[in-house]
Chain A
Amino acid sequence: MSFDVETVRKDFPILSREVHGVPLVYLDSANSAQKPQVVIDAEADLYANHYANTARAVHTLGSEVTTAYEAARDKVAGFLNAPSRDEVIFTRNITEALNLLAYSFGNATWFPGAEKFRIGPGDEIVVTEMEHHSNLVPWQLLAQRTGATFRWIPIDDEGRLVDSAIDEVITERTRLVSFVYQSNALGTINPVQRIVARANAVGAYTIVDAAQAAPHLPLDVQALGADFVAFTGHKLYGPSGVGVLWGRYELLADLPPFLGGGEMIETVAMEGSTFAAPPSRFEAGTPMIAQAVALGTAVDYVTNLGITNIREHEKALTGYALEGLRGIPGVRIVGPRDNVDRGATISFTLAGVHPHDVAQLLDERGIAVRAGHHCARPVCVRYGVPATTRASFGVYTTLDEVDQLVQGVESVRRTFG
């Protein structure tokens, strides 16, 4: 199927609305993506025609809902090229997926049979300097709980990991390496296989934060080679309230549970309980049923557009935008300046103008961008800026919208000039 952005735009009802009397130009997809009508309909259809609780009811609706929920798991497994559907766990978002891992690793301290996950004093947990707070704070907390040392791979002036540091920071003491595939603050695409190979060489577990990668890059867990990969539904044109954790089955089978509750057990007695096999082991309580089902629809939608078509489309937009923004006096790109190993997310500063003023003035022209530290404060500290303005693109972004962004930023510059 060929990719036609004008056709794609028709799938997203919100794109026909106006803000401040002008057409919306939505350049904040890295924050959260807009939803195609099929996703909106999928959620509504489940409530309107099938709704009941999942997994616990023998009646017709219950079985329809369970089938729909499990079908969504199959779709996600296919999207990830996962060897088994039982490796796909639905969570509330990627933040919960990463915390699930951090707490499960922490529970290994006392959980019978989980010795291989134990982390303690003398062990090291490694992240990178470009992590989203979601993939940073849970590991800091795990290090504090277990007495392990928290370390990170630094970033260079261009917003890339310092390659030599990968081998220096990941050592025999490293037990776990958790890192972002594509940075939300810089746009950088990291060398996943290189990091995984190094971690494997020292026997450390690997976790990939694919929140920003999932909507833009092929996400083949077997090719990536990591032990765990997580993403969040709302950035993948799916609903808010659902995310995914994928993990190797043999690891999930032994990993201690995180939340306890209904459906995650094998048997419960007052003296103690035993736990279900994955994925149920990690899905305590009534899940986000409609959201998971609609995420399945979003996965189909993205798959139908073709992730390589999407990547090509966004790469063209990114190159065009980088060129346009670099041409504006006073603009500094925070992150890779060239369109190589970088995604469709561009952070920048404009000399003498605070990012919130840039974003506010762009909003007056209907252009939605994000301003702030993008939940990756250490990145701003690294580049000595309080915040950046960030434009990010998606399947529905057009070259004309990039032109409007560049003209908008130029106009902000003149307003403050």
Chain B
Amino acid sequence: MSAPIDSMYQQIILDHYKNPSHHGLLDDFDAEVHHVNPTCGDEVTLRLKVKDGEITDLGWDGEGCSISQASTSVMSDLVVGKPVADALAVQQRFLELMQSRGQGELTDRDEEQLDDAVAFEGVSKYPARVKCALLGWMAMKSAVAEAGWADTEEVAG
């Protein structure tokens, strides 16, 4: 018997957990952050490099539940090579999806913007696990700020 169709554990999540993207810390970086999620004891250390307003590289290391680790992997794929403003916009949309308590409506644009991250939609039904899914995303946001690129308006301006 396999997990139900509407399982929180979509194949995409399991794949990212087993073969995470951008896993491993960068030697050359502009910012490093360490975030923990006390619920599951999840941890992530994330380093990134920003050049001319673009996240040129990102690497992370962590341990914890599959949701936190897979979500960090998916996030990495989505933001590397993107302008900071775009990365933060995706982060914001993902945050909204996670806070939707299973009521989030995904538009075609969301599907395009969030890509593999839509697989985490089911997590939003479980408030206890939302923090797991957000761990890497929050770490990325802080790292961007740490690197001095927090104020996207100003960047764009």
Contacts and interface: CB of A to CB of B under 8 A. Distances in A.
B3 A415 contact: yes
Contact of A415 (B14, B41, B64): B14
Nearest to A407: B1
B9 A361 contact: yes
B8 interface: yes
Interface in B58-109: 63-67
Contacts of A387: 40-41
A415 B132 CA distance: 19
A151 interface: no
A360 B8 contact: yes
A364 B64 contact: no
Contacts of A338: none
Nearest to A387: B41
Nearest to B1: A411
A68 B14 CA distance: 56
For A20, A353, A364, A365, which residue has the most chain B Cβ atoms within 10 angstroms? A364
Given A353-B66, A357-B66, A360-B126, A386 B1 contact: no
A62 B4 CA distance: 54
A354 B7 contact: no
A356 B65 contact: yes
Contact of B65 (A20, A357, A364, A407): A357
A110 interface: no
Contacts, number: 48
Contact of B129 (A360, A386, A411): A360
Given A357-B9, A357-B67, A364 B3 contact: yes
Interface string B1-29: 11110011100001001100000000000
A411 B67 CA distance: 18
A163 B132 CA distance: 41
Contact of A356 (B1, B14, B63, B132): B132
Interface string A345-379: 00000000110110011001100000000000000
Interface majority SS (helix, strand, loop, mixed), chain A: helix
Interface in B20-56: 39-41
A407 B1 CA distance: 9
Nearest to A410: B1
Interface in A394-417: 407, 411, 415-416
A386 B126 CA distance: 21
A407 B2 CA distance: 11
A364 B4 contact: yes
Nearest to A353: B66
A354 B66 contact: yes
B3 A354 contact: no
Contacts of A364: 3-4, 7-9
B2 A411 contact: yes
Nearest to B4: A364
Nearest to A371: B40
A365 B7 CA distance: 10
For A353, A356, A386, A415, which residue has the most chain B Cβ atoms within 10 angstroms? A356
Given A356-B40, A361-B9, A416 B66 contact: yes
Nearest to B13: A357
Contacts of A416: 14, 17-18, 66
A354 B9 contact: no
A364 B3 CA distance: 7
Interface of B: 1-4, 7-9, 14, 17-18, 39-41, 63-67, 126, 129, 132
Given A354-B40, A364-B4, A411-B2, 11 more contacts: A20-B4, A354-B64, A356-B129, A357-B9, A360-B9, A364-B8, A365-B1, A365-B4, A386-B41, A387-B40, A411-B3
26 contacts: A20-B4, A354-B65, A354-B66, A356-B39, A356-B40, A356-B65, A356-B67, A357-B66, A360-B8, A360-B126, A361-B7, A361-B9, A364-B4, A364-B9, A365-B1, A365-B4, A386-B40, A387-B40, A387-B41, A411-B1, A411-B3, A415-B2, A415-B14, A416-B14, A416-B17, A416-B66
The 9 closest A-B pairs by CB, nearest first: A354-B65, A386-B41, A356-B40, A356-B65, A357-B66, A357-B65, A364-B7, A364-B4, A364-B3
